[in-house]
Amino acid sequence: MQQDPAPPTRHLRVHEDRGHTVLEFHGEIDIAAAVEIIPHLDEATGRPDALVVIDLTGVEFFDCSGLRLLYRARHRVHAHGGRLHLVCAHPLTLRVLKVTGLAKVLPPVASLDLALETDLELPEAASGTPGTSGGTL
């Protein structure tokens, strides 16, 4: 695992692990954090065949801005033929993901190791490809 020398923002650390780009969100993910994260998220998710993991383990607060980041990442990765996995074990964040329906199209796993070792198969309707379900948040 190779860690960047310094985090891109106080809310995000990016590193490579087992062929995946891991974006670790930290602290309070609100609109201010989202503005800082978007350029780095877009860089990681805009590559062809990208393998990306978003890790919410270090998140203390997660609002609709965070949901938009996840949806944006999902859409961009799938549009470029890649795979996106989500790590989340915090009960309140999991509840937000379930209530909004995002957990159905981006199923969270409990640990980074599980996300890196598992190739989750998503239903065709959740693939994010044109002509399938996938609105905006």
First to last CA, the chain: 33
The string of pLDDT tens digits covering residues 56-93 is: 999 999 999 999 999 999 999 999 999 999 999 999 99
The string of pLDDT tens digits covering residues 24-54 is: 999 999 999 999 999 999 999 999 999 999 9
pLDDT for position 24: 97
* DSSP string for 18-58: TTEEEEEEEEEESHHHHHHHHHHHHHHHSSTT-EEEEEEEE
* DSSP string for 81-128: T-EEEEE---HHHHHHHHHHTHHHHS-EES-HHHHHH--PPPPGGGS-
CATH (residue range 2-118) = 3.30.750.24
